């Protein structure tokens, strides 16, 4: 999965750095969002969040530390984060999720060269994960425990068995089980002979942990 398939690009709502914080807050509430990339002359200047705006006070200080007079309207440039982490539209989604977690940020502006093309949020990353693991009315899910020695065989064997029983395989995910010499394998699949498919996997020697009811 790549960022461009899950980012928000249309409509891409942005703020101008000279916009008042009140206007930016209204813009977020109108669109039901919590963050806005901040632009000036088609250049990304920063990112502002609803929390930034909620915490802003006219009697406070600007982002550069200079006091703001009460008579001056507080601008987005005064409260936005100017050091912005970004990602490429073709970046793998799992790398973006790891970056957000490591840097403790909830969203990344998405760039194509120097051009802003979208924004990807932690909710988008979670939606992507849910989409590949959640089962629907006509699909089933199965978890297997696979010894490391058989890890390389699982893809070939599952596909071969699936073809034998006319199974449509939607997802095959593997990851190490912590403090173990095994991998956990998640399969999402559908077909008219799913019970025979599951039984064939069992007879092939795989340890089944959980299987959805047909």
Can the peptide bond before residue 11 be classed as cis, meaning omega within 30 degrees of 0? Answer: yes
| Rounded Cα gap, residues 107 and 125, in angstroms | 10
CATH number of domain containing 164: 3.30.70.260
**Residue 66 pLDDT:** 52
Mean pLDDT of 116-135: 90
Which of residues 89, 107, 129 is at a domain's end? 129
Same structural domain for residues 38 and 125? yes
**Residue 49 pLDDT:** 94
Query: Residue 211, SS3?
Result: strand
Q: How do residues 147-163 score in pLDDT, each as one tens digit?
A: 887 777 888 899 999 99
HSE-up (13 A, CA, CB side) for residue 147: 5
Quick one: how far is CA 138 from the chain centroid? 25
Same structural domain for residues 61 and 160? no
Q: How do residues 29-57 score in pLDDT, each as one tens digit?
A: 999 999 999 999 989 999 999 999 988 75
Q: Give the pTM.
A: 0.74
pLDDT band at 86 (very low <50, low <70, confident <90, very high): very high
**Residue 174 pLDDT:** 87
pLDDT band at 165 (very low <50, low <70, confident <90, very high): very high
**Residue 63 pLDDT:** 47
Same structural domain for residues 146 and 180? yes
Expressed as residue numbers, the domain containing 67 is: 3-129
**Residue 154 pLDDT:** 83
Which of residues 87, 110, 129 is at a domain's end? 129
Tokens 């979670």 found at: 126
Which of residues 72, 101, 129 is at a domain's end? 129
Q: Which two three-digit tokens encode residue 141? A: 């899910």
Cβ neighbours for 188, distance < 8 A, ≥ 6 positions apart? 132, 133, 135, 139, 140, 141, 169, 170, 171
pLDDT band at 164 (very low <50, low <70, confident <90, very high): very high
pLDDT at 70 over 60: no
Domain total of the chain: 2
CATH number of domain containing 96: 3.10.580.10
HSE-up (13 A, CA, CB side) for residue 12: 18
- What pairs with residue 182 in β-bridges? 147
């Amino acid at each position: 999965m790549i960022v461009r398939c899950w980012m928000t690009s249309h409509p891409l709502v942005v703020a101008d750095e000279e916009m008042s914080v009140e206007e930016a807050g209204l813009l977020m509430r109108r669109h039901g969002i919590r963050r806005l990339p901040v632009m000036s002359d088609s250049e990304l200047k920063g990112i502002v969040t609803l929390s930034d705006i909620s915490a802003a006070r006219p009697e406070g200080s600007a982002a550069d530390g200079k006091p703001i007079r009460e008579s001056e309207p507080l601008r987005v440039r005064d409260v936005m984060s100017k050091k912005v982490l970004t990602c490429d539209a073709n970046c793998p989604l799992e790398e973006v999720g790891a970056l957000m977690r490591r840097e403790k940020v909830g969203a990344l502006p998405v760039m194509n060269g120097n051009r802003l093309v979208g924004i990807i949020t932690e909710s988008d990353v979670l939606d992507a994960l849910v989409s590949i693991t959640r089962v629907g009315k006509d699909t089933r899910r199965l978890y297997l425990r696979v010894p490391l020695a058989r890890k390389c065989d699982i893809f070939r064997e599952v596909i071969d068995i699936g073809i034998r029983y006319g199974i449509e395989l939607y997802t095959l995910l593997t990851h190490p089980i912590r403090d173990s010499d095994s991998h956990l394998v998640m399969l999402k699949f559908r077909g008219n002979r799913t019970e025979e498919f599951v039984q064939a996997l069992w007879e092939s020697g795989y340890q089944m942990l959980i299987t959805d009811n047909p």
